[in-house]
Amino acid sequence: MSLDQMFDVTGKSVIVTGAAYGLGRAYAEIMAERGAKVTLIDNNAQALAATVAAIGPQATGVLLDVTDRAALAAAFDQAAARQGGVDVVFANAGVDAGPGFLTPDGARNPDGQIDALDDAHWDKVIAINLTSVYDTMKLAARHMKAQGRGGSIIATSSIAAFYVDGIVGTPYMPAKAGVSHLVKQLAMELGRFNIRVNAICPGPFITNIAGGRMANVEDRQAFVRWSCLRRVAETDEIKPLALYLASNASSYVTGSQMVIDGGLILRPAPELD
């Protein structure tokens, strides 16, 4: 098989959640560029319309909140009818978790302390970053099993699944650890149906998350310092990995946690006060 054939996704039916901005947009772009049909799901109407228009006729936008189970299930049914089934699903939608217990300078941050956390905030982060990933993967499995032609499910986890960090909001950590563990559990269950389940675990990418803080040179200094490559990443840099996991190039890869972080996770643990 040639390299082109291994990475071929022509005609595949793809669904991406959280696709209007950032990493989700990059996943949708590379899939469409390589000839797949892509349904982009997002709750930001304006950004979704702009992204769908930029990608072109292979893209369809569906406006919904991923915590709305019924709407998500209907979107999967409609995408399957429109695109000829479901082959590749990116469970990607996510939000930041607000302030951590430390500021980037290492000072204590009153708003991020565990005893001050707003319970509604915890519930929201878990609902979007963990429970909606479960719902998305469940729908993907249901469609893929019924079709009987295998498939690839890819969750956007984070290096936050493997380490603890004071400047990222506390609810984010268990949500991403949960996503990464769910990926392993489902890979074990779904392997016999040739449904592969993998996690992409990014480090700092310049996206819209946390009010686009990675785009701000000042705000991203802590992450630049900790990265072996001394920089944060552009969203285009996620595309080759997304194409690899979506295509037959990764035919023997399942249950994996693909770290793409400029070596940030290797940094020594920060000192605590």
Positions marked catalytic: 158, 172, 176
Q: How many CB atoms lie within 10 A of CB 99?
A: 20
State the Cα–Cα distance between residues 254 and 215, nearest whole angstrom.
33
User: In whole angstroms, how close is the CB of 58 to ligand NAD at the nearest point?
Assistant: 19
User: In whole angstroms, how close is the CB of 235 to ligand NAD at the nearest point?
Assistant: 7
Distances (CA, A) of 161 to 27, 132, 176: 21, 17, 5
Burial 213-228 (b: 16+ CB within 10 A, else e): bbeeeeebebbbebbe
- Binding flags for ligand NAD, 233-272, as an x/- string (CB under 6 A): ----------------------------------------
173: tokens are 């950590």
Q: Which part of the chain contacts ligand NAD (CB under 6 A), choosing from 52-60, 75-83, 89-97, 111-119? A: 89-97
If binding is defined by CB under 6 A, does position 100 make contact with ligand NAD?
no
User: In whole angstroms, how close is the CB of 252 to ligand NAD at the nearest point?
Assistant: 25
Q: Do 72 and 99 touch, CB atoms closer than 8 A?
A: no
If binding is defined by CB under 6 A, does position 208 make contact with ligand NAD?
yes
Q: Which part of the chain contacts ligand NAD (CB under 6 A), choosing from 77-85, 91-99, 111-119, 249-257? A: 91-99
150: tokens are 């295998």
Strand locations in the chain (E)? 13-17, 37-42, 59-63, 88-91, 151-156, 195-202, 257-260
If binding is defined by CB under 6 A, does position 101 make contact with ligand NAD?
no
Q: Which residue in the set 13, 15, 24, 180 belongs to the binding site for ligand NAD (CB under 6 A)?
A: 24
- Binding flags for ligand NAD, 38-67, as an x/- string (CB under 6 A): ----xxx--x-----------------xxx
On the 0-12 / 13-18 / 19+ scale of CB atoms within 10 A, 127 is middle
Q: Which residue in the set 86, 93, 161, 259 belongs to the binding site for ligand NAD (CB under 6 A)?
A: 93
Sign of CA dihedral 165, 135, 57, 49: negative
Spatial CB neighbours of 233, under 8 Å, sequence gap ≥ 6: 202, 203, 204, 205, 206, 260, 262
Nearest CB to ligand NAD, comparing residues 73 and 95: 95
User: In whole angstroms, how close is the CB of 94 to ligand NAD at the nearest point?
Assistant: 2
Using CB under 6 A, list all residues that contact ligand NAD. Answer: 18, 20-24, 42-44, 47, 65-67, 92-95, 128, 156, 158, 202, 204-205, 207-209, 214
